[in-house]
Structure 1
């Protein structure tokens, strides 16, 4: 096992100088620091996490609470997890992923054990039972998802209200006057998935303002159910010229559904989804979509949490940062087809 003594020997400096060069606790010349860093790279040295925690009162670990729920599309959740873990790794932090169904109990247990320096919560519900425990925890926390009461916690989320309006406005500007909106399963909403109703309500309100007929339906989160439901919706609303998808499973299923009916986008129907660019590449989706901003939200949550941990954030205030939606244009929207 490589030790700090080995690093010092190869770099030609004392053990304490090597330690200071790595910790940054004292001013070290650029030349010496470069020698130490080169020795670390050559030897493959990794600082002892336990010793570092004792010295800094930090574990350099972030707790990430996420749940893989049967009624939500797992690949979409993975995009958010990767957004957090990738940025944490870049910042020198490991991630402890907690997927227990009883998230409140897991959060309290890990907080009391001091195993992590801070927490990031996904699957945030309107009235989330983890928030009271997080507010009382010794460690700071960040949320990816807007709860009903964000008091005292930093929050990062997509602006789903603006997203819903933008979807409708984009197709209305092209001349569409009848649209279908497919949301997540209804029990996601009942469980507290407020992002579902925030987008749907905003879309319905904007449609009414613009004189657009909007048919709103809750879709399943898995195949083959969602494929059959999309077929049924297209049959039920044959004069609809636009399809809005706030349901990743529906977006993934749509190419096969349209192909089976001899339809294409945008020649026969315009489509706007809501999912990440990585998600679109994974499923080869050719549809324009509002980027769910999974990477950006993960980055913001991690960076702000680390600033809390390291004492550089304003301790007197918290942040609610709603990322403005943008449409990644993949060519699936156009003026509506002429119907005979």
Structure 2
């Protein structure tokens, strides 16, 4: 069985340097990290978790609190989970996924038992009952999702308000005067999904400022209901020439709805969504979109968390970072056809 000494020898570094790379206790150059990890892979070296925890007082595990909720589109949530777990794995950490419905109880259990070195919270609500628990513990934690009160917390999220403004601005510049916005299901809003109303409020304000009509309707989180919702929307508002999608299930269902109605984008209807490029590839979506960047958010959150784990009490202030939206043009928008 390979030892840390064997890894150091093959990588051409000292035993302590190899140990620091494998435990993450100190920052090493990317080149050194890659040599050590490649040596470990070639030798089949696996650190003993129990011995490592005793020596470093670290488990090398982070907790990820997330839920697959029935009223949200599961493939979209999965992208955030893989963004976190993939980055953690690259940096030498395992991830413990906890999906217990009572998030506050689950978080307290994790932090009190020291099962993990830090935690990442997903499904962050406006008034999230996990946050008092997180603020009361000395176990580091980060959020992917902006709560109503982010004070004292490291938070990473997309700037949903600016995303809403950008979507309306883009279609307004092309000459569209009547738009429709499909949002998340009403239950998501009821339980505090602030990202929904942040985008909605900003889109409505921008439409009002520009003198446009904007019809906002909630959509279901899956088939067949979301397809029926889209048909009903287009039947009710036949003058709409631009469609905004803040609902991943709606984006996945729209191609078949448009085909059934004999519509093409952008000839008959300009479409802009809000989802990731990977999501667009997975569902073969031809629509332009605001990049939701779940992978980047996962990377930023995990790296910040590991900084907190590796340098406790370093005095750096909490960080609230909202990613600026980027519009990925897939050719689904254009000037409205004369009617």
Measured after TM superposition, the shift of residue 165 of structure 1 is: 0.6
* TM-score (normalizing by structure 2): 0.92
Alignment partners' CA distance in 2, 1:37 and 1:158: 32
**TM-score, length-scaled by structure 1:** 0.92
Cα offsets for 1:249-303 (capped at 9, x unmatched): 0000000000001101101000000001111111000000001111111111111
Unaligned runs of 5+ in 2: 27-31
In structure 2, distance between residues paired with 1:12 and 1:126: 48
Give 2:20's aligned residue: 23
Whether 2:160 is the aligned partner of 1:160: answer yes
Q: Distance in 2 between matches of 1:38 and 1:186?
A: 49
- Tell me what 2:64 maps to: 64
* Aligned-pair CA distance for 1:143: 0.3
- Mind listing any 5+ residue stretches in structure 1 that lack a counterpart? 27-31
**1:190-222 Cα distance to aligned partner (Å, 9 max, x none):** 100000000001101110110100000011101
Give the corresponding residue for 1:29: none
Conservation of the 8 A alpha-carbon contact between 1:107 and 1:130: yes
Aligned to 1:202: 202
- Cα pair distance change 1:102/1:20, threshold 3 Å: same
Q: Is 1:288 aligned to 2:285, yes or no? A: no
**Does the aligned pair in 2 maintain the 1:65–1:119 contact within 8 Å?**
yes
Counterpart secondary structure, 1:273: strand
The residue aligned with 2:29 is none
Partners of 2:214 and 2:283 lie apart in 1 by 27
* CA deviation string 1:158-194 (max 9, x = no partner): 1011111111000000000000000000110010000
1:125 partner SS = coil
- Which position in structure 2 is the counterpart of 1:43? 43
Counterpart residue number, 2:53: 53
C-alpha distance 230-35 of structure 1, shift in aligned 2 (>3 A): closer
Aligned to 1:335: 335
- Distance (Å, rounded) in 1 between the aligned partners of 2:137 and 2:79: 27
Q: How far apart are 1:47 and its partner, in Å?
A: 1.2
TM-align CA RMSD? 2.5
For the pair shown, the structure with the greater C-alpha radius of gyration is 1
**Is this contact kept in 2: 1:307–1:313, CA < 8 A?**
no
SS of equivalent residue, structure 2 residue 331: coil
